[in-house]
Amino acid sequence: MEIAERSRARVQERLARLEQEFGSTPVDQTTFSVDAAAYQRAVERSREGQVDVHAFVHNESGDVLLSDADGSWEVPQGQTQGAERPATAVERVVSETAGVACTIRDAVRATICGVRNESDPDAETVYRLSIVFDAEINSAALEDGDAAEAAGEAEASLRWDDSGEVAVAELV
């Protein structure tokens, strides 16, 4: 029970910090089975204390920023690095993905993901945390020539979507 207990404790700690920073955020829980390689990645990311982050970044018109992820359009997403706060990770991921800055408005949902090894039913469940943030593009960043140039270079792999039907993939 060592892996399960430590990963559960890390998730609870991160949820407590999230509540301190953003107030009450809806929390869902799901459990799923993955192959041995994905399970091992989940174990490693749990040991490192990584949190999966997803960003619904809106422009002035309310459209959502999407990036091309191997042929499917998704909101910017990634993981925390080291002791990085999840909100800071979102800002970094958006900057790396789109070349522009964003401002976090709120944490809109957190999901506790229980990850099981489908190849080994006796392996402990590893718990991971995934947080979805709502953000807005910094209009000042759009006016900055360097940011506009970076966004222009990334334009082929980015788009703004007004449909509101954007999928958030779970990261394992």
User: Which SS3 state, helix, strand or coil, does residue 156 take?
Assistant: helix
- Per-residue pLDDT tens, the chain, 172 aa: give them: 688 999 999 999 999 999 999 999 999 999 999 999 999 999 999 998 899 999 999 998 999 999 887 788 899 999 999 889 999 999 999 999 888 899 999 999 999 999 999 999 999 999 999 999 999 998 765 544 444 444 455 556 888 888 655 555 544 4
Domain 2-160 homologous superfamily, CATH: Nucleoside Triphosphate Pyrophosphohydrolase (3.90.79.10)
Q: CA 2 → CA 18, 118, 123, 127, 172, distances in Å? A: 24, 19, 11, 12, 20
Could you tell me the two tokens for 134?
């709502």
CA distance 102 to 59: 10
A 10 A CB-CB count for 133 gives 27
Domain ranges for the chain: 2-160
- Which helix (H) or strand (E) segment holds residue 72: the answer is strand 72-74
